[in-house]
């Protein structure tokens, strides 16, 4: 039985509302999940996340494997017990981080930026048919990830949803290489599924884990279709759209458009590593149910608050630099009308002061607001779909018809 149930659909797009069922509770969708890379959403406590509406968070297999290690985490009850988070969790496979060591700057490619200097970590990874061999960024020690090893590590971490280990090619890869990479990812998917099914549930902190496959194929429509249709026959519990998503936002939307129609309707769809406001709305309109991204807390560390300013165009309309001189004596909250703790309690002037004084509280307050802003946005999206008003909300936020 699928862990995902659709509860409402939008008649004018592929948007849908639903529920993902996990051993630690239900997750209403569409949903944005804050990223807790090393077992913590940077600077925020589990209590703060719960109080501001987080229903699921993401942990990073690569980083948690290297420090403190999945065996230790398993002994402490998995990530749920170790991090004192009692809600649903998802872990990625570690593939993105491992392959980023090869290509460098992959996280920037979706925004059309290429790395300006050679990545010092290049040359620290070797890819074979069986595995990926890499050196730790912490101490240079040598490690090997096979599909089976990634699944074993994720079993120890104990997240409710785990993800297949995959190969990540750069967005500028040729059709030939992308096809070869996709085929290898498919072979690894078979091995991941086998390892997951053969697990010893009595020895695991969370025996009820679900496994998501990852659809690949780069920017090529025939490969995206082939990958989606192949994985749909294998018995996964849900699917991610991964691999190269293109060189800019329009190309990413094209990739989603060429992929979703070939994915099973009755299963959850997760768009990996995406969290900009326009991308969330565009993704939902194209049938995506789940999103994750580090951007809310990364922006918080760089004194940037998520806001809605209709009078401005482009990406700037969503962002407020609290270091601007105009913030120095501004009594307003970061976002008028926002009900997060930061906006209920503190002024822009105070937060401006905290960053000028290099006080850590400034990072915490803006990060908390940014997380709450996106969680609230997705709650509004879900409510709009259920009420039949998603097209109105889309046009209101993006300034264009659905």
Q: What's the token pair of residue 373?
A: 């802003």
Residue 17's φ and ψ, nearest 5 degrees, are: -105, 150
Q: What's the token pair of residue 184?
A: 């290898």
**Predicted confidence band at 110 (pLDDT cuts at 50, 70, 90)?**
very low
Catalytic residues: 92, 292
Mean pLDDT of 363-369: 98
Within a 10 A sphere around the Cβ of 294, how many other Cβ atoms? 18
**Predicted confidence band at 95 (pLDDT cuts at 50, 70, 90)?**
confident
Nearest to 150, CA basis, from 68, 45, 60, 255: 60
Q: How far apart are CA 399 and CA 402, in angstroms?
A: 9
What does the pLDDT read at residue 10? 98
Q: Give the residue with greater pLDDT, 103 vs 270.
A: 270
Specify the pTM: 0.93
Mean pLDDT of 187-197: 98
What does the pLDDT read at residue 146? 96
Mean pLDDT of 296-311: 92
CB 254 within 8 A of CB 246: yes
Q: Could you give the percent of the chain with pLDDT greater than 70?
A: 92
Lowest mean pLDDT among 167-176, 261-270, 314-323, 374-383: 314-323
Q: What's the token pair of residue 297?
A: 């807390």
Nearest to 196, CA basis, from 238, 233, 153, 166: 153
Q: What's the token pair of residue 27?
A: 């997750």
What does the pLDDT read at residue 309? 79
Residues contacting residue 395 through CB under 8 Å, at least 6 positions apart: 401, 402
Is the pLDDT at 316 greater than 70, yes or no? no
Q: What is the pLDDT of residues 129-154, one digit of tens each?
A: 999 999 898 998 999 999 999 999 99
What does the pLDDT read at residue 114? 41
**Predicted confidence band at 121 (pLDDT cuts at 50, 70, 90)?**
very low
Buried b (16+ CB within 10 A) or exposed e, 51-81: ebebbbbbbbbbbbbbeeebeebbeeebbbb
CB 292 within 8 A of CB 58: yes
Q: Could you give the percent of the chain with pLDDT greater than 90?
A: 84
Is the pLDDT at 107 greater than 50, yes or no? no
Residues contacting residue 331 through CB under 8 Å, at least 6 positions apart: 347, 348, 349
Secondary structure of residue 67 in the 3-state scheme? coil
Q: How far apart are CA 229 and CA 319, in angstroms?
A: 39
Q: What is the pLDDT of residues 46-69, one digit of tens each?
A: 999 999 999 999 999 999 999 999
Q: Give the residue with greater pLDDT, 168 vs 221.
A: 221
Residue 83's φ and ψ, nearest 5 degrees, are: -100, 0
What does the pLDDT read at residue 313? 58
| Three-state SS sequence of 291-316 | EEECHHHHHHHCCEEECCCCCCCCHH
Q: What's the token pair of residue 291?
A: 């999103």
CA atoms 321, 322, 325, 330: torsion sign: positive
Q: What's the token pair of residue 254?
A: 């094209």
Residue 323 — left, alpha, or beta (φ > 0 → left; ψ -120 to 50 → alpha)? alpha
Strand locations in 109-195, DSSP E?
Answer: 125-127, 132-135, 142-145, 161-163
Burial (0-12, 13-18, 19+ Cβ within 10 Å), 118: exposed
**Predicted confidence band at 314 (pLDDT cuts at 50, 70, 90)?**
low
Nearest to 288, CA basis, from 251, 308, 314, 261: 261
What does the pLDDT read at residue 137? 87
Mean pLDDT of 164-186: 93
Task: Give the orientation angle of helix 175-197 with respect to helix 147-157, to 10 degrees.
Answer: 50
Half-sphere exposure of 112 (CA within 13 A, CB side): 5
Which residues lie across from 33 on neighbouring strands? 292
DSSP for 332-362, written as a single string: S-SSTT--SHHHHH--HHHHHHHHHTT-HHH
Average confidence score pLDDT of the chain: 92
CB 34 within 8 A of CB 371: yes
Burial (0-12, 13-18, 19+ Cβ within 10 Å), 40: middle
H/E segment holding residue 250: helix 249-259
Burial (0-12, 13-18, 19+ Cβ within 10 Å), 310: exposed
């Amino acid at each position: 039985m699928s862990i995902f149930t659709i509860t409402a659909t939008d008649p004018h797009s592929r948007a849908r509302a639903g529920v993902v069922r996990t051993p630690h509770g239900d997750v209403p969708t569409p949903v944005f999940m804050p990223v807790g890379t090393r077992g913590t959403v940077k600077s925020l406590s589990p209590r703060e996340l719960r109080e501001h509406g987080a229903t699921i968070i993401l942990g990073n297999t690569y980083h948690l494997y290297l420090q403190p290690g999945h065996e230790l985490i398993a002994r402490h009850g998995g990530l749920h017990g170790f991090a004192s988070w009692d809600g649903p969790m998802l872990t990625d496979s570690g593939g993105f981080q491992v392959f980023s060591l090869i290509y460098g700057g992959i996280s920037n490619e979706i925004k059309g930026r290429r790395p300006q200097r050679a990545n010092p970590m290049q040359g620290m990874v070797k890819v074979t048919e069986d595995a990926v061999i890499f050196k730790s960024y912490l101490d240079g020690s040598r490690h090997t990830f096979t599909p089976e090893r990634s699944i074993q590590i994720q079993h120890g971490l104990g997240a409710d949803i785990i993800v297949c280990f995959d190969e990540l090619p750069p967005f500028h890869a040729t059709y030939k290489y992308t096809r070869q990479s996709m085929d290898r990812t498919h072979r690894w998917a078979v091995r991941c599924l086998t390892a997951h099914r053969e697990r010893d549930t009595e020895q695991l902190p969370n025996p009820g884990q679900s496994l998501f496959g990852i659809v690949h194929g780069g920017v090529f429509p025939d490969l995206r279709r082939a990958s989606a249709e192949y994985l749909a026959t294998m018995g996964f519990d849900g699917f991610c759209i991964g691999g190269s998503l293109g060189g800019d936002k329009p190309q990413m939307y094209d990739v989603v458009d060429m992929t979703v129609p070939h994915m099973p309707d009755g299963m959850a769809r997760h768009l990996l590593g995406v969290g900009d406001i326009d991308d969330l709305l565009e993704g939902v309109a194209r049938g995506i149910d789940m999103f994750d991204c580090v951007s809310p807390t990364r922006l918080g560390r760089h004194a940037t608050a998520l806001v809605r300013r209709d009078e401005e165009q482009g990406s700037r309309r969503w962002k407020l630099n609290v270091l601007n001189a105009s913030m120095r004596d501004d009594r307003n909250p970061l976002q008028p009308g926002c009900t997060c703790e930061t906006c209920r309690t503190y002024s822009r002037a105070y937060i401006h002061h905290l960053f000028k004084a290099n006080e850590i509280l400034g990072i915490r307050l803006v990060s908390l607001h940014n997380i709450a802003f996106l969680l609230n946005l997705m709650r509004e999206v879900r409510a709009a779909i259920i009420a039949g008003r998603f097209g109105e909300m889309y046009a209101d936020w993006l300034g264009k018809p659905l």
